[in-house]
Chain A
C-alpha cells in the first residue's frame, strides 16, 4: 500500500446524478492531484493542489469540481457528467516545498461509469 486511499473503488452514475470521489493520504504530503486515465490515452493531469490551494486546472469542464479541505483529503465532485467521462480517476500525492521533482504516489483509483 502506498498510503493513498481512494473511495469508492467503483461508481456507476446517471448523467443527472451528483456524486463525489474521495482521496485520503497519510504520508505527510502537502501536494495532491487528480488524474484521469482513459483507454488508449495518456494519464491526464486534471487538478493540482498545493497546501490546500488549487494551483492548476488543466482546462477541466466545470462539471468536475475539486475540493481540498486539508492537506490529507481531496475530493472530486461530479455533476451532470457525460458518458465520455467514464474513466479511471486516480488521485496522487507528493511532497511539496523544498523537494523538487519527487515521486508521485498514486491511489488505486475509482472506476467511473456514466450511463
Chain B
C-alpha cells in the first residue's frame, strides 16, 4: 500500500515568516495530493490540492509543489499569521474514483505573534 511520510512533526515560526512542510510518498501510481488543515477541536478541511500533471499550484499565501520523480511534495505558507496555527496533514491518493486518502502524521504549526 501507499506510505506517506511527513516532516517536521512540529514547526514554530514568527508571524510574517514562511513555513514549509514536506511529504514523501512511496507509490508512483499516486496522482492526487491534497493538504488538509485541522484547527484545534475542528474537522480537517482541504486547503489546497495538486494533481500529478501539475508541478506547482498557488492560492494566495499558500502554494504546493510536486516532484513526481523524487516522489515528494511540499506545502509553502508565506507571510504566516497566528490564525495559520493548526495541524496540517498531507495525503496521497491513487488513480481511483474514490477518495481513499493515505495521510501523513501531521505537522503542528505554531505561528507566534
Interface residues of A (CB under 8 A from B): 2, 4, 31, 33, 40-45, 48, 50, 55-56, 90, 92, 94, 96-104, 106-109
In the bound complex, do residue A108 and residue B42 qualify as a contact, i.e. CB atoms below 8 Å apart? yes
Sampled A-B contacts (26; CB under 8 Å) = A33-B100, A40-B9, A41-B105, A42-B106, A43-B44, A43-B91, A43-B101, A43-B103, A43-B106, A45-B100, A48-B100, A50-B98, A90-B43, A94-B98, A98-B97, A100-B95, A101-B93, A101-B97, A102-B99, A103-B46, A103-B49, A103-B99, A104-B99, A104-B101, A106-B43, A108-B43
Interface assignment of B51: CB less than 8 Å from any CB of chain A: yes
The prevalent SS among residues of A at the interface is loop
How many A-B residue pairs lie within 8 Å, measured between CB atoms? 71
Q: How far is the CA of A96 from the CA of B104 in the complex (A)?
A: 23
In the bound complex, do residue A100 and residue B101 qualify as a contact, i.e. CB atoms below 8 Å apart? no
- A4 contact set on B, CB distance < 8 A: 43
Q: How far is the CA of A44 from the CA of B105 in the complex (A)?
A: 10
Q: Which listed residue (A2, A42, A44, A101) contacts B99, Cβ 8 A?
A: A101
Interface residues of B (CB under 8 A from A): 4, 9, 31-32, 34, 36, 42-46, 49, 51, 89, 91, 93, 95-106
Q: How far is the CB of A107 from chain B (nearest CB, A)?
A: 6
- B105 contact set on A, CB distance < 8 A: 40-42
Of all chain B residues, which has the CB nearest A4? B43
With A42-B105, A101-B31, A101-B51 already in contact, the answer to whether A96 and B43 are too (CB < 8 A) is no
Q: Which listed residue (A40, A96, A104) contacts B97, Cβ 8 A?
A: A96
- B104 contact set on A, CB distance < 8 A: 42
Q: How far is the CA of A92 from the CA of B32 in the complex (A)?
A: 17
- B51 contact set on A, CB distance < 8 A: 101
